[in-house]
Structure 1
Amino acid sequence: MYFSTIPLIITSSKKQSTNSKIIENANKARIQSALKDLSQNDQQLVLITENVDQEIEQLKADFTVIQAAGGLAYTPNEEVLLIFRKGKWDLPKGKLDDGEELEACAVREVEEETGIQNVALESFIQRTYHTYQEHGQDILKETFWYYMKAEKQDLHPQTDEDIEECRWVPKSFIINYFDNMQPSVKDVLEAYLAHL
């Protein structure tokens, strides 16, 4: 889970790196206070708990939760589909429509945002969380990510969704984009690099 670019690790493990600030519970006020108190050496917040799922659910109660789904689409030659939106490299994703299944949402968003067709849904990768403010509300976006296979084809960015560019990137070049993407998106790409 990310607060801006600062990770919040919710874990049952008592072993933590020295670059962590330990917090006792995951309510929004305590996290915001801890974020302000982070020292130069602290790179993440860590909540150690016996029940990770329960802590996540309690934390979600402090936010307006938006569910989204997205995809890591790649070709048989291991080229990954990236989009450039709002000054950052990203993966296609979007909000779940009423009554829509997560998998259908992921495929729809990849096709709409990039213009590709005939995307083959493969398997679930992971779920990410990040927070932001919108119209004075604290939002927690819960995104479900899926692997997808596609043939390499011409790309057409969905400009009305602020997507400026779509690009097929060879697997070996993906890390060159890490410095200009949100940490949660980087996590998904790192899972892909470790998976294949």
Structure 2
Amino acid sequence: MYKVFVNDVPIILSTQKNIGSNYTNIPIKKAKIKRLIKQIEAGELLYLNLYHKKERKLLKHLKKQLKVVKAGGGLVLNPKNEILFIYRNKKWDLPKGKMEKGESMEETALREVEEETHVEGLEIHSFLQITYHIINRNDKYKLKETHWYEMKTSFDGKLIPETSEGIKKAKWKNFEQTQKALKKSYANIKLLFPQEYLVQHPNDRIG
């Protein structure tokens, strides 16, 4: 199963013809993807399951209808186990960006994290997962495929947000601060975190 987000609404890609009474279930081979995305954006469709009996065919069929933009990003930890966040478009996000020609995905992820926050000394610790969401560029829908890596650094210098990319802040956040930040983040970012980060802290009285 895959989740492909339109804003924070997930399109489910699955091998099951019916995943619940709330869902509109459509064979992915017959789905008019762009029309369905517009319905989701308009709030007319909130539960959508696109299915195919072979799981490996799900993304293949989606990618036939949407151009893919590949990106890399990082969930970065320092020695205090604080996590590196950026603040852009009134949301807390993790640093990431588009792959450039000739780069490996790991090189993309490291470069983008460094460019967006000016953090130094990054090392990739492990691969996390791939997330998918729909973007609209010049009135054309595209599928953004982001490869995420857990990274570590001992850098304790000043973080500098890349303002030319619309980033207002770059900050390290501890466990409780991360819990709060994730309330003002994106659904696909939340997929990268263990459940304990997504449960409201008992001392958090906001919201």
TM bracket, shorter-chain basis: 0.7 to 0.9
Ranges in structure 2 where 5+ consecutive residues have no aligned partner: 199-207
Q: Secondary structure at the match of 1:61?
A: helix
The residue aligned with 2:62 is: 59
Which residues in structure 2 correspond to 1:79-158 (within 5 Å)? 79-153=82-156, 154-158=158-162
Match of 1:142, as an amino acid? E
Match of 2:182 among 178, 182, 185: 178
| Displacement of 1:20 | 3.4
Question: Can you list the C-alpha shifts for 1:131-182, whole angstroms capped at 9, x where unaligned?
Answer: 1211121111111000001125221111111111011011233221223212
Task: Report the more deviating stretch, 45-54 or 96-105.
Answer: 45-54
Between stretches 161-170 and 129-138, larger displacement belongs to 129-138
For residues 83 and 114 of structure 1, the distance between their equivalents in structure 2, rounded to whole angstroms, comes to 8
Distance in 2 separating the partners of 1:122 and 1:59: 31
Deviation digits for residues 39-70 of structure 1, max 9, x if unmatched?
A: xxxx5322232222212111112112110000
Q: Matches of 1:11 and 1:129 in 2, distance apart?
A: 14
Contact 2:18 2:25 in 1 (8 A): no
Deviation at 1:127?
0.4
Residue in 2 that maps onto 1:69? 72
Which residue of the other structure, out of 25, 28, 33, is the alignment partner of 1:28?
Answer: 33
User: How much does 1:192 deviate?
Assistant: 9.4
Equivalent residue number for residue 5 of structure 1 = 8
**Separation (CA, whole Å) in 2 of partners of 1:11 and 1:150:** 37
Task: Work out the number of aligned pairs and report it.
Answer: 190
1:93 shift after superposition? 0.4
Aligned mates of 1:63, 1:192 — CA distance in 2: 34
Displacement of 1:85 after TM fit?
1.0
CA RMSD, 1 decimal: 2.3
**TM-score normalised by length of structure 1:** 0.86
Deviation of 1:12 after TM superposition, in Å, equals: 2.3
Going from structure 1 to structure 2, the CA distance change for 1:147 and 1:15 (only over 3 Å counts) comes to farther
Q: CA deviation at 1:19?
A: 4.5
Residues 125 and 191, structure 1, Cα contact 8 Å, conserved in 2: no
Aligned partner of 1:179: which letter?
Answer: K
Tell me by how many angstroms 1:189 deviates.
2.9
Identical columns (%): 33
Aligned 8 A contact 1:23 1:47 in 2? yes
Q: Indicate conservation of the 8 Å contact 1:114/1:156, yes or no.
A: yes
